Amino acid sequence: MRVVSSFEIESDAVEPFFKNGYILSCPNSGNAIYIDPGDEVPQLLARVRERSLSLIAVVLTHAHVDHITGVGQVVEEWGTPVYLHPEDRFLYDALSEQGRWFGVSCDPAPPPTDVLEDGQILNLDCLQIRVHHTPGHSPGSVSLEVESHLFCGDTVFQGSIGRTDLPAASYDVLMETIRNRILSLGDDVVLYPGHGPMTTVGEERLYNPFLTGAARPAGF
């Protein structure tokens, strides 16, 4: 568990996609949200129970298969609302088909209940979440800013960027998004990506080869 300012973060990633799922919890009330429930759901829900937390929302950075396979299990147990940007609804509704692309079997996910919009503020207990529309990896990708922490999905990683060889993705849009919507947040902002370790805006500005011009997409 990582304690940051007024909230706490639990995370885990498991095979086959090793996608980071995040639980953000309020220490005073015990209420929590789940960002991007995937195959790590059994592990993170076990920690939720151990800590006697109450899940009050599922918030999705985007709707690729690895980020939504666990939504059904969370909703079944907790009855949480599900927040999704509408431009990714076509991906969300095609979960079973997405699974077939990667050779995995996926049951359809329960329908999302709430819409995410650029500039929206979600007040979920102690968590005030600012929604940034950050397209490129998918049309409805969002990044979720909580204080000086940004849960950025598959927009940018430590030393890399999100894939743009998937349906409706765009390298040019992604790079514009990173430059105008991520780097503009300031070097001290901590990035929690969908895969791999956390990093900062400053580190990526200085060392990410896709941002310094040292690398171009190959298979992205």
> Looking up tokens 């937390």, which residue turns up?
53
Closest by Cα among 11, 5, 13 to 145? 5
Task: Provide the strand spans (E) within the chain.
Answer: 2-4, 7-12, 21-25, 31-35, 54-59, 82-84, 114-115, 121-124, 127-133, 142-146, 149-153, 156-157, 160-161, 190-193, 199-200
Tens of pLDDT, residues 42-57:
999 999 999 999 999 9
Q: Taking the mean position of all CA atoms in its chain, how far away is CA 100?
A: 22
pLDDT at res. 4? 73
**Weakly modelled stretches of the chain, pLDDT under 50:** 219-220
For 52, the token pair is: 């006697």
| Collapsed DSSP state (helix, strand, coil) of residue 108 | coil
Q: Are 122 and 129 a contacting pair, CB within 8 Å?
A: yes
Rounded-to-integer distance, Cα 3 and Cα 24, Å: 10
Residue 105: burial class (beta carbons within 10 Å; 0-12, 13-18, 19+): exposed
Tens of pLDDT, residues 96-133:
999 998 888 899 999 999 999 999 999 999 999 999 99
| CATH no. of 2-212 | 3.60.15.10
pLDDT at res. 180? 97
pLDDT at res. 214? 63
- For the entire predicted model, the pTM comes to 0.95
Q: Are 59 and 74 a contacting pair, CB within 8 Å?
A: no
Rounded-to-integer distance, Cα 53 and Cα 68, Å: 21
Rounded-to-integer distance, Cα 83 and Cα 73, Å: 15
- 126 phi, psi to nearest 5 deg: -80, -5
